[in-house]
Amino acid sequence: MVLHHQPIKSIPPLTKEIAHKAFPKGNIYLTLRDELGTFYDDQDFAELYSDEGQPALRPSGLALICVMQYVANLSDRGAVEAVAARIDWKYALGLELTSPSFDSSVLSLFRSRLLKGGKEKQLLNKLLERCQELKLIKTKGKARTDSTHILAAIRNLNRLEYVGETLRSALNALAVVVPDWLSNVVAPDWFDRYSKPVEEYRLPRGTEARNDYAVKIGRDGMKILESIYDEPTTPQWLKEIPAIETLRITWLHQYWIDNGQLHWRSHKDLPPAGLRSNSPYDTEARYGNKRHTTWLGYKVHLTETCEKKQVHLITNVQTTQAHSLRCRPN
């Protein structure tokens, strides 16, 4: 999409009149526009857009909508409905009462564009720059940092589910790019074993039966890895598929080989929890502990100003892996 820079317009008179009648004491969105003004500009996001294609919606407006969406804790659909129906949002965005809304997918695409272009912190940084201009943030003021947990958007897996899903993910990736090659490698019964999600209620009961099943999955995975890494006729680029690299690393963590025999590692022989993943669908998510809370995902560290008689503002956000010394039970 192509970006056509447009000058920032003042609030339309009718929008301003009705908004102040509806909120005579103001509210957070009116205050946002009145006190901070317009702190996003289309040029701040110009490098994220190409020189060809259909005209894009103003990124400065989409950026502000993302901020207000977070404040209101709305879904993309809810945020788009607020743009269409709420007078205070139209006031903050400087829109006419009759301004049309847009499809909710635009917000998701805009966030993806920010991430792809490495501009995900632009929304916070521009807001902080404006706060500095208004003397709301001191250069050497007091600040404090705390952390909280973020859940990964994945299913919690036990070890047996994890190795099964890792192999299943690799098979699905290969089935897309080299279906004929894959059909010559796998056995006929693999379809029954890996066509459906590997879930606990489908798995064997009892320690011995579960260990045997883990070894069976391990041998199947080794057959795929040996076919890719040892066969000279196999396309070398298959090693570069992320799901194959995840399979290789997972098998190093979960299995060991002695005299040509593959074995399922015991818990005490596993690598530290911070070094191994727990899902093939988010390899950076880790188990974490904080007081009485255990979760699979990440930690987010927030720094905010804490000056007396000053508004407290978040000035930095850092997301890191969650680490735990505990192991996930089998």
Tell me the average pLDDT of the chain.
88
Tokens of 187: 């056995």
CA-CA distances (angstroms) from residue 274 to 281, 287, 298, 310? 17, 8, 11, 39
- Whether 122 contacts 63, CB under 8 Å: yes
- The pLDDT of residue 140 is 79
How would residue 3 be classed by pLDDT, with cut points 50, 70 and 90?
low
What is the model's pTM?
0.74
Residue with tokens 């950026």: 63
Query: Token digits for 27?
Result: 């509210």
Evaluate if residue 1 carries a pLDDT over 60: no
What is the tens place of the pLDDT at every residue in 189-226?
A: 898 889 999 999 999 999 999 999 999 999 999 999 99
- Three-state SS sequence of 45-81: HHHHCECCCCECCCHHHHHHHHHHHHHHCCCHHHHHH
Count CB neighbours of 286 within 10 A.
23
Q: Is 149 left (phi over 0), alpha (psi -120 to 50) or beta?
A: beta
Quickly count helices (H) and strands (E) in the chain. 12, 6
What residues contact 67, with CB distance under 8 A and at least 6 apart? Answer: 123, 127
Helix (H) or strand (E) holding 233: none
Q: What is the pLDDT of residues 293-316, one digit of tens each?
A: 888 899 999 999 988 878 888 889
